[in-house]
A and B are shown apart, each in its own frame.
Chain A
Amino acid sequence: MQFWLIQTLNSLALGGLLFLLSSGFSLIFGLQRIPNLAHGALFMLGAYIGTSLLAREVDFWLAAPLAGVLVGLLGVALERLVLRRLAGNEQGQVLVTLGVAFIIADLCLLVWTGDPIPVPAPEGLRRPVFLFGFAFPTYRLVVLGIAVAAAIGLFLLMERTRLGAMIRAGVDDPEMARGVGIRVSGLFTTVFCLGVALAGTAGVLGGPILSAYPGLDADMLPLALVVVILGGVGSLLGAFVGSFVVSSIYNFGTALFPDLAYVILFLPMVLALVFKPEGLFGRVRA
C-alpha cells in the first residue's frame, strides 16, 4: 500500500515538473510553430543556476524564480537575435534551437563539471508529513501544489486576459491576428520568454527530486515531446493531462520494470499517433 501511494505521489510530483516544462514547450510550439529543442537544455541550465545560487546561500524560494528570470532573459536573446533572423524558415529555427541545446549542454559541463550536484529540499520541507498513517515526502506535495497553481495561473492568463486572447488568436491564425492589429512579433518574444522561464524555474524545483547532472536535458526533452504528442500542440489542458499520464507511466514503469521504462514510454505516444494524431486536446496536427 505504502509503495503504491508513494509511487503515485512521485508520479504526481514528476507530472507537475513535466507540466511546467511542457506547457511552455507546447505554447511556443502552438504559437511559433516550432518545437524548441533547447527546452530540455534550458531546464538543465535552470537546475544548474539554481545549484550555484543555493551554494551562495540564496533562499530556495528566491533561487527558483531568479533562475527562471535568468533563463527567460537568455530566451529573449535567443528569440530576438537568432530565431528572428530566420523568420519564415521554421525548419531552420528548429535546427538552431538544437544547435543552441548542444552549446548550452556543453557549457554546463564546462562550468559545473560532470559530477551530479545534489540539491537539498528547502529547509522545513525535508521531513515527511504523516497522513492517515502513511509517510509522504513533503517537498513532492509542495511541487505538485506549485504545478497546479501554475496551471490555474496559466489557464487564467490564457482564457481571461487580453494577452491570453491575443496568444490564442495567434495560435489559431497568425495572419488574421496580424490583420486585426495584434503585434504577433511581440507575442512571439513574450511567449518564448515565458515558456523558457517556466522551464528554468522547473529545473530548480526539480533539483531536490532529480538533482542536476549532465544528461538531464536528454532525459527531460523526450518526456516533453511525448507529452506534447499525446496532449496536443498548443493546448494547456493537453499538456496538463499529458504530463500526468506520461509521468505516471514513466514512474510506475521505472519502479515495476526498471529495464523497460523507456519501452513503456513508447506506448502512449504510439496510441496517440495511431488513434488521434492531433493529440488528445489538440486542434492542429503536429
Chain B
Amino acid sequence: MRREAAGAAVRGGLALLGLALLPWVLGGDFYVNLASQVLIYALLALSLNLLIGAAGLTSLGHAAYLGIAAYAAAWLTGNAGFGALPAALAALAIGTASAAVFGVLALRASGLGFLMITLALGQIVWGVAYRWVSLTGGDNGIRLADRPAVLGFDLGTPVAFYYFAAAVFALAFLFLRRLALSPLGACLRGTKEQPRRMAMLGHHVWMLRWIAFVLAGFWGSVAGLLYLYYHKFVSPQALSLQQSAEALLMVLLGGSSTLAGPVVGAAVITLVKNLVSSYVDRWLTLLGVIFVAVVVFMPQGIVPGLAGLLRRLRALRPERAGAAPPRAAAGHEAAP
C-alpha cells in the first residue's frame, strides 16, 4: 500500500513536471494555446466523469455549467461593473447553484431518463442564451474586455495563461483523485454498481448522486471560467448540444473508469478537432463518426483498453507469470 502511494506520488510529480515543462517543449504560441485548450476541456471532461465514471449517470447537458459560469462572469464584469474576482466567485456560485437545481430535477430519473432530462435542460439553457438577446447578446455572445490578472500575474500571454490553466487543472485533478479515493467516492461507486444494496445499507443514494451532480457542476463552472478567460468571449456555442456531446465523447473515448481517461480523451478530441478544422469544414460529421465508432468498437475507451493490453502482455512474459497476480480491472486509482 505504501509502495503504491509512493508510486502515485512519483507519477504525480512527474506529471506536474511534464505540465510545467510543456511550453518549452512545444515552443510556439500556437501549440501553447492548444495545450491550454486541452487543459480546459480535460477539466470539463473530468468534471463530467464525476457523474459518468463515479456515479454511473450519463449526462448530455454538461456544457450548461461551463456556459452558465462563462456567461455569468462575462455579464457581471461587462454589464454590472463587477471586479474580476467577485465576478469569478459569483459566476462559480451561479453555475453551482444551477447544477443544484438541475440536479434535483434530473435525478428524478436515472439511466436514459436522466440522460434525456439533462439533454432537455441543456437545450433550454442554450435556447435562453440564444434567444434572450437583451441579456446574453444572442448569437453575438458577450465579449470580455481583458483577461484578469491573478495574484499580480498578467494572463495576457499564452504561456502565462497556460500556467494558470495548468495550476487550476492540477488542483482539480488532485481534488477529484482525493474524492475518488475517499469514502464518499467509494459510496458513489457503490450507488453505480448496486443502488439497491447501498440503500439497504442505509446510504442515501439520491443524496450521494446529487452531491456528485453539484460537484460536477462546480468543476464544470471552473472550466467555464477558464473557457471565458481563454477566449475572452462566450456565445451560445459554448453551451450547445455539440459541446456537451464533445465532453461526453472525451470521457467515453478516453475511458470513464479511470481519472486519466477523460484527460486523454480531451487531448485526442481537441487535437483532432483543431487539426481537422484547419483542413476541412466537416468536424461535425467526423464527431458523429467517432461517436459511433467509439460506442461500437471501443466501449471501454482508450486508457482501460491500453491498460488491459499491457496487463495481458505482462502476463505473457514467462518470468513474471505467476509471480504477481494480474491486478483487477483498472480502478479509480490509476494516475496519468
Mark A residues whose CB is within 8 Å of B: 33-35, 37, 82, 85-86, 89-92, 94-96, 98-103, 105-107, 109-110, 218, 221-222, 225-226, 228-229, 233, 258-263, 265-266, 269-270, 273-274, 277, 285-286
Contact = CB atoms under 8 A, between A and B. Distances in A.
B124 interface: yes
A152 B299 CA distance: 42
B245 interface: yes
A286 B60 contact: no
A225 B287 contact: no
B113 A286 contact: yes
Interface string B83-126: 00000000000000000000001001101110111011101101
Contact of A266 (B60, B124, B299): B124
Contact of B135 (A107, A258, A259, A274): A259
A285 B292 contact: no
Contacts of B126: 218
Contacts of B248: 95
B131 A229 contact: no
Contact of B295 (A34, A92, A101, A285): A92
Nearest to A110: B282
A102 B105 contact: no
Q: Is the interface of A mostly helix, strand, loop or mixed?
A: helix
A257 to B, nearest CB: 10
Given A102-B284, A103-B289, A106-B284, A222 B127 contact: yes
B127 A265 contact: yes
Given A263-B128, A266-B121, 10 more contacts: A82-B292, A96-B292, A102-B291, A103-B288, A106-B282, A107-B285, A229-B116, A229-B120, A262-B127, A277-B109
Interface of B: 58, 60, 105, 108-109, 111-113, 115-117, 119-121, 123-124, 126-128, 130-135, 240-242, 245, 248, 252, 282, 284-285, 287-292, 295-296, 299
B14 to A, nearest CB: 34
A98 B245 CA distance: 8
Contacts of B245: 98, 102
Contacts of A101: 288
**Chain B CB within 10 A, most for which of A102, A110, A222:** A102
Nearest to A286: B113
Nearest to A91: B58
A100 B128 contact: no
A277 B110 CA distance: 11
A229 B282 CA distance: 33
Contacts of B120: 222, 225-226, 229, 269
Q: Chain B's interface: helix, strand, loop or mixed, by majority?
A: helix
A92 B132 CA distance: 34
Nearest to B136: A259
Given A90-B112, A110-B282, A229-B116, A99 B127 contact: no
Contact of B123 (A34, A94, A110, A222): A222
Contact of A94 (B108, B115, B124): B115
Listed from nearest, the 6 A-B pairs whose CB atoms lie closest are A99-B291, A286-B113, A262-B127, A102-B288, A103-B288, A222-B123
Nearest to A224: B120
A102 B244 CA distance: 12
Contacts of A263: 124, 128, 132
Contacts of B282: 106, 110
B109 A100 contact: no
Contacts of A258: 131
Nearest to B290: A99
A274 B108 CA distance: 8
Contacts of B127: 222, 261-262, 265
Contacts of B241: 218
Given A91-B112, A265-B124, A273-B105, A98 B299 contact: no
B124 A35 contact: no
A85 B131 CA distance: 40
Nearest to A277: B108
B296 A82 contact: yes
Nearest to B248: A95
Contacts of B123: 218, 221-222, 225
A95 B117 contact: no
A34 B288 contact: no
A221 B245 CA distance: 15
Nearest to B291: A99
19 contacts: A82-B292, A86-B296, A89-B295, A90-B112, A91-B112, A92-B295, A92-B296, A94-B112, A99-B288, A102-B285, A103-B292, A218-B123, A218-B126, A229-B116, A233-B113, A258-B131, A259-B135, A261-B127, A269-B105
Contact of A262 (B117, B124, B287): B124
A194 to B, nearest CB: 21
A103 B290 CA distance: 10
